[in-house]
Amino acid sequence: MVFPTSYFFFILTLLLGTVISVSSTSWFGAWIGLELNLMSFVPLIALKMNPSFSEAALKYFLIQALGSVLFISSSFIFLSFPTFSLLSIFSALLLKLGSAPFHFWFPQIMEGLKWPQIFLLSTIQKLAPLTLISYLMVNEILVKITILSAILSALVGSLGGLNSTLLRKITAFSSINHLSWMLTAISISDMSWLFYFSIYSIILLSITSIFHKLQTFTLSSLTQSDQNSPFHALLISLNFLSLSGLPPMTGFIPKWIIIQIMVNLNLFVPLFFLLLSTLITLYFYLRIIIFMILLFNPILNFNMKYKSFSSSPSSIFLKSSFNFIGLFLPLYLTFI
C-alpha cells in the first residue's frame, strides 16, 4: 500500500480542498480551499520520521504559506487597486505552481519526496492554481504575463535538467517544462489546458508507478535494480518518449493540438521557445534511454547482475499501455 489507511483522510481532504478552490465564487473561498489543500498535503509528505521528508515538508509549508499570505492580502485590496491586486494574486498562484520565475523551490522539494508524493505534487496540487489562473485570463495584461511566464518556464525546465543524473530532479524540471505548455494553453482556451493536463497526469502516473515499484531514484540504481529487465527498460524508454512528446506517442497528441492553435493565432515567438525547450528535454530523455540500452546490452553488461524476465511484466505493461494509444491513432484515422 502506497499510503497507510489512516492517511486516506488527508487524501480526501486534499481533493476536497481542490474542489472548494475550483468551485468557489470568491477569492476568500478559493483561499480556504488552497489552505485545506496545503494542510492535507504536508502530512502526506512527512509519512515517516525522516530528515529528508521533514525538510521537504517544512520547505513546502513555508513556500505555500508565503503564497497564501500574498494571495489573501492581495484579494483584500481588490476594490481599491484592482489591477495591482490581480497582478499580486497571479504572482501568488505562480509561486504555488512552481512556475518560472518562482520555480526555485520545486526541484529542491521534489528531491526529498517519494514517487507517490511526486505524482501528487506534479498533478493534483497544480489543478487548483491552474484553474484559478484560467479565471484571470479575462485581463489582457495577465494573458501576456502568462505567455512570458510560459516562455521562462520552458527555458528553465529544459536547461535545468541537462546535467542531472537524479530521476526526481529530472522529473521536477520536466514538470516545469510541461507547465509552460499548460500556461500557454490556459491563455488560449480552457479545454486545451484541461486536455493537456489530463494526458500529462496519466503519463506521469505510469512513470512514477514504475519507479515506485523498482524503488529507483538515480540512473545507476535504475539499471542495478533486482526487479529490472530489458523489457522494463523498453517500457521505461517508451514512457520517456511519450513524456517528451515525440510522435507518434500519446504525449505528442496534446502538444500537436496546442501547436495548431498557436499557429492559427500567430503566436510564433512563444511557439519557437516551446519547441526549442521540447527538443532540449528530448535530449536528456534520450540520454537516459541510451544509457539504459547500453547497460542492458548483453555484450556490454559484463559487470551487472542478471536481470530476471519474470518480475511481473504484465502489470508494468498495463501501467504503460496508455502511452501506446498514439501509436495506433494513425491506423485509426486511415479507417475513418
Q: How many C-beta neighbours within 10 Å does residue 218 have?
A: 14
Buried b (16+ CB within 10 A) or exposed e, 148-157: ebbbbbbbbb
Domain ranges of the chain: 5-334
Q: For residue 49, what pLDDT band results from cuts at 50, 70 and 90?
A: low
The answer, as to whether pTM is greater than 0.85, is yes
Question: What pLDDT score does 297 carry?
Answer: 55
Q: Which pLDDT tens digit goes with each residue over 105-128?
A: 999 999 889 899 999 999 999 999
Name which of 112-121, 230-239, 253-262 the model is least confident about. 230-239
Residues 6+ apart with CB under 8 A from 139: 86
Mean pLDDT, residues 252-274: 93
Secondary structure of residue 218 in the 3-state scheme: strand
Distance of CA 286 to the CA centre of its chain: 19
Q: Which pLDDT tens digit goes with each residue over 172-199?
A: 999 999 999 999 999 998 899 999 999 9
Question: What pLDDT score does 324 carry?
Answer: 65
Residue 279 predicted with pLDDT over 80 = yes
